[in-house]
Amino acid sequence: MIKHSKTQHAMRSILGGLLACLMLTACGGDMSDLQQYIAEVKARPATPIEPIPPVKTYQPYPYDGTSGRDPFRSSSSEGRELAQGEDGRPESLGPRPDFSRDKEYLENFELDTLSMVGTFANSDGFWGLIRDPDGRVHRVIPGEYLGKNHGQITLIDDGQVVLSELINDGTGGWLQREAALALEG
């Protein structure tokens, strides 16, 4: 019985090898159509490559040292009024976000993920149309908030939404900066 099984195994191996050889020889058929297509592709004229854009020359910024802030002084505390806090530490008297107000929906997104897509105007002024990252469009008016930096809309015109943001300076105070969303186009 063992001998019979070995013979069957050997016979199967030989038949499998013959079948594989037979299949490989079938693949070597006429390839003239493939060679003709390759020749046609090689005969096509090459499309020209766009030239490299010219390198922009560096324009140095002239610093005269008389205008602007001193680059060797810390900007986070400069120009901030300080008062004595309840715990004896200095406390900023400048602008602060209102943490007691309810957050508006567009404050859940970073400002650079929002985009201005249009405006509406009526006798009261402009309404801005802002698209969130999910693709939904929201109507905004001056006084509303958007972005994660406590940005309050101060102006809407036909080309932009301007807002005033409050940025934590890292030392307990807040710095006010202007930002804008320009109309896409």
In the block, tokens 């997104």 appear at: 109
Task: Note whether residue 160 is domain-resident.
Answer: yes
Specify the pLDDT at position 92. 57
Of 64, 84, 69, 61, the C-alpha closest to 175 is: 69
Number of domains in the chain: 1
Model pLDDT for residues 62-110, shown as the tens digit of each residue: 777 777 666 666 555 554 555 555 655 555 567 888 889 999 999 999 9
Task: Note whether residue 93 is domain-resident.
Answer: no
**Domain span at residue 172?**
107-182
Specify the pLDDT at position 18. 83
In single-letter form, the type of residue at position 16 comes to G
Task: Note whether residue 45 is domain-resident.
Answer: no
**Calculated CA dihedral for residues 121, 123, 124, 126, nearest 10 degrees:** 10
Residue 117 clears pLDDT 90, i.e. is over it: yes
Specify the pLDDT at position 146. 93
The DSSP string of 115-156 is EEEEEEEETTEEEEEEE-TTS-EEEE-TT-EETTTTEEEEEE
What CA–CA distance (Å, rounded) separates 100 from 11?
Answer: 87
Q: Are 109 and 148 in contact (CB under 8 A)?
A: yes
Query: Tokens at residue 135, please?
Result: 């693709």
b/e burial code for range 133-172 (CB count within 10 A of at least 16 → b): eeeeebebebebbbbebbbbbeebeeeebbbbbbbebeee
3-state SS assignment for residue 1? coil
Task: Note whether residue 32 is domain-resident.
Answer: no
Task: Note whether residue 38 is domain-resident.
Answer: no
Task: Note whether residue 153 is domain-resident.
Answer: yes
Model pLDDT for residues 17-68, shown as the tens digit of each residue: 888 877 776 666 678 888 899 999 989 988 888 888 888 888 887 777 777 6
Task: Note whether residue 3 is domain-resident.
Answer: no
Specify the pLDDT at position 103. 92
Task: Note whether residue 123 is domain-resident.
Answer: yes
Residue 152 binned pLDDT confidence (cut-offs 50, 70, 90): very high
In the block, tokens 């002239």 appear at: 62
Q: What is the CATH number of the domain that holds 145?
A: 2.30.30.830
In the block, tokens 């140095």 appear at: 60
